[in-house]
Structure formats: structure tokens, C-alpha cells
Structure 1
Amino acid sequence: MTETGIHYLDARGPEGLRVYAIGDVHGRHDLLAAMHRRIESELEYSSSSDWRVIHLGDYVDRGPDSKSVIDFLIEARERDPRNVMLAGNHDIGFLDFLDRPDPDGLFMRYGGVQTAASYGVKLSTGSSWFGRPDEVLAHGHAALVEAVPQAHIDFLKSLSFSAAFGDFFFCHAGVRPGIPLESQSPQDLIWIRDAFHDHPGLYPKVIVHGHTPVPEAEVMANRVNVDTLAWQSGTLSALAINGGDKRILAVQGKAF
């Protein structure tokens, strides 16, 4: 798979289909709404016969308003199923925590406290006046399970791990070199880093992903990374594809 694949410069989207791929949101409802407004204005200004807006996962954790992000995405998909949502490792980590409250798991270590707060729940692994750390976490977990709507759980469980349009393959983290795109494992699609980033060859399609923050969107011969650390930097990025035309879009908001 060294030179048998497609180079970014040669890659094209499907004829008549405009595609947008939005990077990691991480609780930044303000930036997600702003990006959708920008995309909607583009589609109104220069209409296309069809379109897809692909969200590359990591909707929750770290940022201030994960609950509103999920509400927004559910409404967007119900309004028009051409809004496509893929799974990120933090989204699966949220489901894992709701199923079993692990104090050392992804959710508690990397921004789950902020996610819980967006549902009006305080999570802690420390001691308090009403119990030991495990009791405190169990109390917070029970409150969070009660607070998260079933529609949010159903949404997270419904997320696909990848999508493909034209010469582009979309996923959260990346792919494992040497494995056919249709045979990639869900674990790799939401977690992989080094083996994917360090691969010098081309893939059968250009891989569009997030997961690993970069200061600005990174366009390589074999992949495009649109995770610009939105929750902290205040910049949410996306790749816009219209036939052979490829552009990076960005919306700006408050940095933390």
C-alpha cells in the first residue's frame, strides 16, 4: 500500500455532492453552532445538488456544554439525516462510564467532570462528608445516570465508526496501515495514533480524522487532521470538499 493509493492533491469528492467534515467538538456547543451556520450559508450561497456534514466524534468531555452539543446533534440528524455523526473515543468512554463508574477510566481522567456538570451533576473521586471516595463516585454516578436522557444514550450507541465518500475515508482517529479500510477495527478507528501518523505511504482513500490536536488543520499527502483543540483554543476546524476543490474552514470563539 505504498504508492497504490490516492494522494490528497488528486482526491475528489463524489460528483454533485458537497462534503464537510467537522473536527473534535468536546463540549463547545457555541463553536459547533457557528460552524453549522457557516456551512448553511455556503450551501445557500452556492447550492449543490446534495451534501453531507460529517462529524468526526468526541462531542463530550473537557468543554463546558456537552449536553447541548448532543441535543444539537440529535436535532440536526432528525431534521436531515445528511448530518452524519461518527463515534469518538470520548463518546464511547461516556457510555462506558454510565455502564460502570471507573475512577481511573477515560471519562474521569479526561474531562468527564465537565460533561457531568453540563447535566447538572457534580462528580468527584475525593472524600466528602457523606462517604469514602468510592461512595462519593457511586453517588455522583447514580445522579448522572438519572440526569442523562435516554435519547442521549441511544444517540451515542447509534454512532457509526467510519464513512466514505468519493476518494475520502472519514473516522475519528485514523486507520491501521496494511488493513483494508472496510476491515478496520472500531478500536483503531477511535484510538490509533503513532502507527497511523507515522505511515509514509498512501492509503486507498485520503483519511480525514481528528483525535490528535494540532495548532491548525494538518493537510498531508495521505491524511487530513481537523482536530484543532476547539475546547481550549476556541478554533473549530472542518474540511470542505466539492469535487476536486478542498478547503479548510475554521470558526473562532473564546479560548480557555
Structure 2
Amino acid sequence: MLSRLFTRRRPEPIQAELPEGRRIYAIGDIHGRLDLLEQLLALIEQDDAARGRARTGLIFLGDLVDRGPDSAGVVERVRRLCVERPDTRCLSGNHEEIFLGAHEGNGELVRLLLRAGGFETLLSYGLGADEIEQANIAELAEMIERAVPAEHVVFLRSLDDYLLEGDYLFVHAGIRPGVAVEQQSPRDLRWIRQPFLDFAGNHGKLVVHGHTITDDVVQRDNRIGIDTGAYRTGRLTALGLEGRDRWFLDTAADRPEAVD
């Protein structure tokens, strides 16, 4: 009896592209670093102008808040960008989920907020260190509700769970393999690591995400991760896309890094 030997083929990489005339800059996790955001926006403006005319959009991948010193400033900057530049969109990250839950008075999320870098966020909204440390959870929830401007809450509640552009899918954390995009759980989109990170198969779209910090940009056949840990490394990264071209800009580099 003859037996057949089968070998598992590696999935073909996704040949992702954007429609003609479209240009996108996707921006990784900012985490309260308004200083780095301003630097990166200046780099994007220069790069965009040098590349010629296109329909250029910005996509923020979420986690605007926590850990860094000026979450309030970041939220306001991105909120105004979305008003002044309508082709600017922003995803909700897990830290926005925690922050909104704390603002709504969820005691467990108030505790989680403090463990996840929210102390700095509350300072940026004008609360004092002593009053934060001395308040109990119920008191702190009331303080958060009073301190955060209503327009910030409305903006953060309006953020998208995912965005599609051409052959690209933009999410904060990742997706659950084998599940259609429209059926993905918001929790997975904001929190997932495994099995997404190790999955080598085809998602149908090339997934662009943040959430998981790496020393450098991660490029796989089925995903691109651009969270380079801005709040502690000083490196905030953007992915530029046009046609089939991809390149990277970051606050620690002097010029864009092209990708073949």
C-alpha cells in the first residue's frame, strides 16, 4: 500500500494595496505623549507634502491615554484633528475602554485604571496627586466624572472598533482568527494577543495593529504591528501606505524607512 507524504505550505503573503490616489498614515499607541504626537504629525505633514497630491487620511490605532504625562492633551489634539480634518479617524483601544468605564463609575475599572497608568491621566485632567491618593474608589469615580470634559467623553465613546481601507484592516489589538470582521468581539479587537499574534494564516486582509509593544515594527505576511512603546521609548511610529507601497516614520528616525 502506497502512502503519500504531504507537506504543509506556508500561506501566500497578502498583496495588499490601497485604491489609486489614496494615502493613509496609521499612527500607533500614543499613551499620553503629546510631545511625540506633535513631532510625528510634523513628520507626516512633511512626508505627505513631499509625495505629491493624494487623498490623505490619518488613522489612530487607539490607546491615546494613560502612562504618559498628557493624556488630556492627546485626546484634545486628536479630537480637534477629527473636526478640522474630516479624513482623520480613531480606534478605541483597551485603555479607552478602561477610562470610560471608570468615568461611568465602575469601581473595578477605577482600580484597573490606576494600575494601568491612569494616575498620570488623572493628573493631566487637573486632579492633584494627594487627592487621588487619599480618595476611596467611590470618591475617585466622582472626581473623574467631574474632571473629564463632556466633549472628551463624547469623543471617546464615538471611536471605531475597526476600519477597512482597500486590502487593509486597521484594529487596535488584533482579531480572532477564522472569525469574520463584522462578527469580531469588541473585546478581542481591543485586548487580544493570542492566538492572533502567532497565527500565520490569511486573515483576508492585511491587519495593521498596535497594543503589543515591540522593539521595532513587526512585519508578518498577515499583519503589521506598530506599537513601539512611545511612552517609555520615546519612539512613536506611523505606517504610511499608498498603492502597494509601505513606509514608516517615527520620532526616533531622521527619514522614512521604505519597505519593498
Query: Fold conserved (TM > 0.5)?
Result: yes
Match of 1:52 in 2: 57
Query: For residue 17 of structure 1, what is the amino acid of its counterpart?
Result: R
2:87 equivalent to 1:86: no
Distance 2:242 2:139 in 1: 50
Larger Rg computed on CA atoms: 2
Residue 142 of structure 1, CA deviation: 2.0
Residue 118 of structure 1, CA deviation: 0.3
Distance 2:132 2:154 in 1: 31
- Secondary structure of the residue aligned to 1:20 is strand
Match of 1:75 in 2: 80
Query: For residue 73 of structure 1, what is the amino acid of its counterpart?
Result: V
Match of 2:246 in 1: 246
Distance 1:80 1:46 in 2: 19
CA contact (8 A) 1:3 1:201 kept: no
Assess, with a 3 A threshold, how the Cα gap between structure 1 residues 126 and 19 changes in structure 2: closer, same or farther: closer
Distance 2:26 2:82 in 1: 15
Residue 3 of structure 1, CA deviation: 8.2
Q: Which of 83-92 and 93-102 deviates more?
A: 93-102
Match of 1:180 in 2: 180
Match of 1:117 in 2: 123
Distance 2:137 2:10 in 1: 51
Residue 38 of structure 1, CA deviation: 1.0
Q: CA RMSD in A?
A: 2.2
- Secondary structure of the residue aligned to 1:195 is coil
CA deviations on 1:191-210 (whole Å, 9 max, x unpaired) are 11011011111210010000
Identity of aligned residues (%): 38
Distance 2:89 2:52 in 1: 19
- Secondary structure of the residue aligned to 1:67 is helix
Query: For residue 124 of structure 2, what is the amino acid of its counterpart?
Result: S
Query: For residue 69 of structure 1, what is the amino acid of its counterpart?
Result: V
CA deviations on 1:42-77 (whole Å, 9 max, x unpaired) are 222222330111000000000100000011011101
Match of 1:15 in 2: 20
Residue 167 of structure 1, CA deviation: 1.1
Aligned pairs for 1:181-220 within 5 A: 181-220=181-220
The gaps in structure 2 that reach 5 residues or longer are 1-7, 254-260
Q: Which of 138-147 and 69-78 deviates more?
A: 138-147
- Secondary structure of the residue aligned to 2:195 is helix
- 1:108 alignment partner, one of 106, 111, 114: 114
Distance 1:20 1:198 in 2: 25
Distance 1:124 1:208 in 2: 40
- Secondary structure of the residue aligned to 2:240 is strand
Residue 185 of structure 1, CA deviation: 1.4
Residue 122 of structure 1, CA deviation: 3.5
CA contact (8 A) 2:32 2:67 kept: yes
Query: For residue 218 of structure 1, what is the amino acid of its counterpart?
Result: V
Query: For residue 116 of structure 2, what is the amino acid of its counterpart?
Result: Y
Q: Which of 67-76 and 46-55 deviates more?
A: 46-55
Assess, with a 3 A threshold, how the Cα gap between structure 1 residues 123 and 160 changes in structure 2: closer, same or farther: farther
